[in-house]
Structure 1
Amino acid sequence: MSGDKPVPEPPTFPGRSWLLPSALLDADHDPENGHPGRPPKRTARDWVVDFTCFLLAVFIGLLGVETVRSEPDLPQAFAVVDQVLGALACAAVWLRRRWPVGLAVAMVPVCFVSNTAGGAGLVALFTLTVHRPFRHVAWVAGASVALIPLFFWLRPDPEVSYPWAVFLAALLTAAIVGWGMFVRSKRQLMLSFRDRARRAETEAALRAEQAQRLAREDIAREMHDVLAHRLTLLSVHAGALEFRPDAPQAEIARAAGVIRESAHEALQDLREIIGVLRAGEPDDADRPQPTLAALDTLVSESREAGMKVVLDHDVTDRAAVPAAVGRTAYRIAQECLTNARKHAPGAEVTVTVSGAPGDGLTVSVRNPPPSGEVPPVPGSGQGLIGLTERATLAGGRLDHGPDQDGGFGVRAWLPWG
């Protein structure tokens, strides 16, 4: 009986926690269709185990037949009833999986009346102990043990004394209960291990999914910060060529050169990001990431595009600025210049960078309100959100909003030292 069918593995449901192992041991459910109250389909192994339990009950019942025949004062009719009840009890062993509690309860009075039903009663008690909580086992086993002295008082064993017969029967009942509890505990332990393994796999999958999501967000933020600046330059100069077809040849050539250079830089930046998606190419490592030292170049590009930019760089030792902090400051200034070019064309933009080791690095970008009416430009507002996230990830903070005079300002603080 120790080879009884293992309890089916708990089904998984998205967004729900698994059942406890004890609940799985106590539940009559179909692991294939999930309908409660339906017995699981027997496998070949289940049939072997059930047939073994049936043969064991029959074997013990046959031993009981010899005991019944050796009772001198037992009426013949009662002996026949004893054997009939024993045969029915052995046949009922096949129902032990479906109704473990009902079968065990029914076996208590049957075993009190029939000596040949003892084997079936032991199998039913073992099944109850394995599949149901101890409170059910305590009632059934307690009732069985309480009836043992009365049973041997009414039907004494001709070969064993009364005290020994009561002791051995009680000991056998306790052994069956102990064996069943051991099997149940072992199954609960295995189910707990499986549950922990499933939880560990699920948590690992969630962590991997979160890492992928963060990586996608970081790549999307990088693409926005890098490409928005280049494409805005393209849009400004292409618009100038469109609305001023009669411009001087030198100005048209300069605008075309800026468009060509911006398109080339945009393609290089896009190639760099795609290289990250492809786990990096050899050429990608040769291209350095922008730092605070590249801020002068960024301002020069904006001035060449026709912007009025004032740079107030108060950091004397720029090489001492950590690369990650400098890159974050560069991206903040780049996005702010892009937004100013789109939403406040013609306005003078002031970029202020100050700080020292231990005090942090402060980047401030401000522009006054634009003169005249500004045509609507496409924008989703994700740039400032991305800047806030970038500053937060770097351990700093970022504030932005309109000024009292109608202008707009962005101020970021980044840790340094």
Structure 2
Amino acid sequence: MEAVRPCRPARAGRTFRTVSRTAGTAGDRIADIGLVFFAACFAVLTADAVLAGEHLSPDALFADQAVGALACVSLFVRRRRPVQLAVVLLVAGVFSHFVTGATIVAVFTVAAGRPLRTTGLVAGFAFAPVPFLIASGPALDDPRTVSGMTYFALLAAAIGWGLFVRSRRQLVASLRERAERAHEEARRTAREDIAREMHDVLAHRLSLLSVHAGALQFNPEASAEEVQRTAGVIRDSAHEALEDLREVIGVLRGTASSETARPQPELADLRRLAEESRAAGTDVTLRLETAPGQTAPGQAGADGSRGAAGTRRGDPAAPPAAVGRTAYRIVQEALTNARKHAPLSPVTVTVSGGPREGLTVLVRNPAPADGRRQPGPDAGESAAFVPEAAVSGVPGAGQGLVGLAERAELAGGTMEYGRFGADFRVRAWLPWAPGRDPLEAAAPAPDPAL
């Protein structure tokens, strides 16, 4: 999976500058040519109105037109030097009648691409002559007065339009950055979901493999029957791990189908999970108390677990599949954690609750003291064959319980774990109504076009 560069949020107070780009693109060049053409056409079309009441000699008129032409050409540098260009053209406007179009473009560029402070200074410089013109009491029927009022009105309109364009660009950039952050957050969440699901699926299987392989290593005097039985368990665990891995990858790639997909674990599969742990030498007592039991209260089933309604596949009294799967993963990781850190110690798993009070999962085992770990009274021959050295070296990254807490939170529940007196306990509460399923959330959404 390719690494994703984290998205850095913009620093506070940083001004978004959209126009001051030195590397021009084809679109920028077309826009520059269009604005130069606009300024030239504006000068030509307004020449009669601008020169009304003016008496210029042919040389003065030619010089005025030349200044206007230079002003239009100077717009090609408006992206690199917008403020300087605007100030020069505003000064030139005092002497020339043909720079109005270029000046409008220049002040628009400043307003659209520079900070508000800079825009305010340029606007103040542009409108500085207005108080003096008003104080001089010009005649309103004078063509030059009308021309001057029109000039300042056009400048005000250009600045206002530039500020609008600037705010719109900032809004678009902000929305784009927000979308990028949301996309990055979604990818990060998906990666965490994938990592959590892969850990929960494989850690249990691989820890069983490690325990049984260690049993073969540390029992050189084992009988042929014991070796054969342990090798079969190792083979079955490896096959199960491969099938689980294939299932997760199929879901994440969106290639898993309902016909070929393996059934996801539910609450009813806790009995099988307990049997696997017993085969690895862990004494597991399982109590399922999610509803009035099909087995009488206190009466153990054939596998040593207590019966309860809603704990068999297809039972209508069972909790929703997502809730049952989350509870299964919590018990699975808790057993794996106990096998790593308190091998051969008895573990008690209690699952209780109902639609009103939710589902409570409690896993507890004696906390190891002074490195001494004793097998439970019902561990049986599996514990005799699996020595403590075979399980004490099972590695762990310490992320399993953290991932369980995240999984419970995603499902809308809570989880706590730690030492409580002489026991280490993992306790989780899950709402009966399903929350967010990490495996389904990490899977790609179907394409509506298909």
TM-score tier by shorter-chain length is 0.7 to 0.9
Q: State yes or no: 1:138 paired with 2:127.
A: yes
Letter in 2 for 1:16: A
The verdict on how the C-alpha distance between 1:314 and 1:83 changes in structure 2, with shifts beyond 3 A counting, is closer
- Indicate the larger mover: 87-96 or 307-316: 87-96
Q: Which residue of 2 aligns with 1:322?
A: 320
Matches within 5 A, 1:18-417: 29-32=20-23, 43-49=32-38, 51-52=40-41, 59=47, 63=51, 67-68=54-55, 86=64, 90=68, 93=71, 98-105=84-91, 107-108=93-94, 110=95, 117-120=96-99, 122-123=100-101, 126=104, 130-131=108-109, 133=119, 134-144=123-133, 146=135, 149=138, 164=141, 166=142, 168-282=143-257, 286-316=261-291, 317-318=309-310, 319-370=317-368, 371-372=372-373, 375-405=392-422, 407-416=423-432
- Three-state SS of the structure 2 residue aligned to 1:286 is coil
1:91-128 CA-partner distances (Å, limit 9, x unpaired): 663557543234424644x4xxxxxx4444x4576456
SS at match of 1:386: helix
Count of residues in Structure 1 that have an aligned counterpart in Structure 2: 361
Call closer, same or farther: CA 1:207–1:284 in 2, change over 3 Å: farther
| TM superposition shift of 1:41 | 12
Q: TM-score, normalised by structure 2?
A: 0.69
Query: Could you tell me whether the CA contact under 8 Å between 1:351 and 1:363 is conserved in 2?
Result: yes
Which of 1 and 2 has higher RCO (CA within 8 Å, sep 6+)?
A: 2
Structure 2 counterpart of 1:31, one-letter code: T
Seen in structure 2, the aligned counterparts of structure 1 residues 402 and 178 have a Cα distance that, compared at 3 Å, is same
In 2, Cα distance between the equivalents of 1:144 and 1:99?
24
Stretches of structure 2 that go unaligned for 5 or more consecutive residues are 1-6, 79-83, 111-118, 292-308, 311-316, 374-387, 434-450
**Tell me, which stretches of 5 or more residues in structure 1 are unaligned?**
1-12, 34-39, 70-78, 111-116, 150-161
Aligned-partner residue type, residue 309 of structure 1:
V
% identity of equivalent residues = 42
| Residues 284 and 302 of structure 1: CA distance in aligned 2, closer, same or farther (over 3 Å) | farther
Rounded Cα–Cα distance in structure 2 between residues aligned with 1:142 and 1:130? 22
Moved more, 318-327 or 349-358: 318-327
Q: Cα deviations across residues 117-166 of structure 1 (Å, max 9, x unaligned)?
A: 4444x4576456535644333313444555573xxxxxxxxxxxx762x3
Larger C-alpha radius of gyration, 1 or 2? 1
The secondary structure found in structure 2 opposite 1:361 is strand
One-letter amino acid of the structure 2 residue matched with residue 347 of structure 1: S
1:168-223 deviation per Cα after TM superposition (whole angstroms, max 9, x unaligned): 33222222332333344334434433433333333223222222221221111111
3-state SS in 2 of match to 1:379: coil
Could you tell me how far apart the structure 2 residues matched to 1:311 and 1:30 are? Answer: 68
Shift of 1:346: 1.3
Question: Post-superposition shift, 1:327?
Answer: 1.2
* 8 Å CA contact retained: 1:397, 1:412: yes
Structure 1 residue 266, shift from structure 2 partner: 0.5
Q: Partner residue of 1:16?
A: 10
CA distance in 1, matches of 2:165, 2:176: 16
Contact 2:51 2:97 in 1 (8 A): no
**Partner SS state of residue 217, structure 1:** helix
CA distance in 2, matches of 1:303, 1:393: 30
8 Å contact from structure 1 (residues 241, 252) kept in 2: yes
Partner of 1:113: none
Deviation digits for residues 296-350 of structure 1, max 9, x if unmatched?
1111111122211111222233233222221111111100111111111111111
* Rounded Cα–Cα distance in structure 2 between residues aligned with 1:163 and 1:359: 84
Counterpart Cα distance in 2 of 1:47 and 1:282? 62
Seen in structure 2, the aligned counterparts of structure 1 residues 280 and 83 have a Cα distance that, compared at 3 Å, is: closer
Measure, in 1, the Cα distance between the counterparts of 2:155 and 2:347: 82
Please give the root-mean-square deviation of Cα atoms over the aligned residues, in Å: 3.6
Q: Distance in 2 between matches of 1:414 and 1:217?
A: 20
Distance 1:210 1:196 in 2: 21
Which piece of structure 1 moves more, 370-379 or 356-365?
370-379
> Aligned AA for 1:300?
E
What is the TM-score when the length of structure 1 is the normalising length?
0.74
Alpha-carbon contact 2:323-2:430 (below 8 Å) kept: yes
Secondary structure (helix, strand or coil) at the match of 1:282 reads coil
1:395–1:414 Cα contact (<8 Å) kept: yes
